[in-house]
Structure 1
């Protein structure tokens, strides 16, 4: 039997979280656990522990790939899976009704790759889940993967997050690392923490790259 009070509470919660999301306030959004060392020029070194992600590869131009990948992964955490547990959603994902498991979304959403070979879009799963307990995606384009512990150099910025800005910030990150004698071991990635409707100057965006320290 439907609980009218519960529905009203969910709607109020969704509206409140959407309003907060406009100004970049993230309510209860879990981030993958890590240790941080701050360096010069706004640069951080983060040491991430092993974690699990849902990911999908999209062969399309960067921004279109990001949007399509986000939709595929959102369908998974909204119930497009073979599970039966129901888990409350965290901002910025809605609590609107769906069948199957509901999996809290953590920050950030990540992307890596290129237009020629495809872009990999990832949602990191909340720490309470394991590969054994996560429900199987209904969409075979969505994969559950173990992400090993890694050390990442991170450059944070606000505002635009289009391809030109990402490329510029990635070059800035690599230059700062060269100037500080830090060895890069992979290609840059972009991480996004806020929904599209967040005011640009309140967005938290990052470019990251794996390093040896």
Structure 2
């Protein structure tokens, strides 16, 4: 049965149709904001959903549930309105609990989101979660940026698995704050042609800053263009600058807008670390500030993030 459910999930969000014989006529779907009764109504809602939104559904796992007639899936679901390209992407993660009829058909689906505690229909938390994402003013420039998959979307932070990417980094003076701009001009010079090959490259996002600590200096890093591997990058003329391969790691990210002053960054790091510990996740020491926007972007529209690496994360 799990194989049939996997096949069904592979097609419904790409084709926008269901395989009717796999569902009972009285199939019921419920999540924190929707309740749909009947196979025909579920199919109609799915057609509407896929006609309005660009949808991505990633199935992380599918397993039998506690009962003999239950299947449980874990997934990441994202949606973005097709006609409004600048709108924020809505991201949900969680589990689906499928009840199976005696004839082997899907009888019901109950979705539980990671971001809310009250998953009953109609959840005030669920509505607030959607409004918070949809009305977020933060903007991400249309530039190359490291790719990642959201594994868990919580109310205040995300857990992400980053793909591999390359950076150019330069040390910052010992004791530099996380919002320091030290090193920016050197890195900008490198990508705009101040390198041994005098090769110009495109600007990317975000700018990454690791604050200086007592025992070592911090660093600032620019992400390199996705098309360029570490072996194809021009050599820096500045001996302090290094080309590094990053990624392939699981990171917790807390986003906030405004001007990322040192005290605001430190407070965001404390909030994120505290939330991780409450949720039973193991944060590593240190953190990174990611700044996505140029200095001319209004503070309210800026996207900033505090990133903390996680130890031994497993998606349960």
With structure 2 as the length reference, what TM-score do the two structures score? 0.52
Alignment of 1:178-189 (within 5 A): 178-189=277-288
Higher strand proportion:
2
Indicate the SS of the match to 1:107. coil
- Report if the CA contact (8 A) 1:53-1:124 is conserved: yes
Between the aligned partners of 2:247 and 2:178, the Cα distance in structure 1 is: 28
Between the aligned partners of 2:243 and 2:259, the Cα distance in structure 1 is: 30
Residue of structure 1 equivalent to 2:193? 79
Indicate the SS of the match to 2:272. helix
Match of 1:58 among 165, 172, 178: 172
Q: Alpha-carbon deviations, 1:30-84, whole Å to 9, x = none?
A: 111111134322211110112110000011553598322111100000101122x
Q: How many residues align?
A: 175
2:226 corresponds to 1:112: no
Between the aligned partners of 1:79 and 1:146, the Cα distance in structure 2 is: 21
**Structure 1: stretches of 5+ with no match in the other structure:** 1-22, 84-99
2:201 corresponds to 1:103: yes
RMSD over aligned CA atoms reads 2.1
**Structure 2: stretches of 5+ with no match in the other structure:** 1-136
Q: 1:73 to 1:189 in 2, by over 3 A?
A: same
* Higher relative contact order, structure no. (Cα contacts within 8 Å, ≥ 6 residues apart): 1
Residue of structure 2 equivalent to 1:44? 158
Q: 1:24 to 1:196 in 2, by over 3 A?
A: farther
Q: Once the 2 structures are TM-superposed, how far is the Cα of residue 28 of structure 1 from its aligned partner?
A: 3.1
2:224 corresponds to 1:125: yes
Q: 1:187 to 1:63 in 2, by over 3 A?
A: closer
- Report if the CA contact (8 A) 1:81-1:101 is conserved: yes
Runs of 4+ in structure 1 over 4 Å off: 23-27
Between the aligned partners of 1:44 and 1:156, the Cα distance in structure 2 is: 9
Residue of structure 2 equivalent to 1:198? 297
Q: Once the 2 structures are TM-superposed, how far is the Cα of residue 203 of structure 1 from its aligned partner?
A: 0.5
Indicate the SS of the match to 1:28. coil
Alignment of 1:157-168 (within 5 A): 157-168=256-267
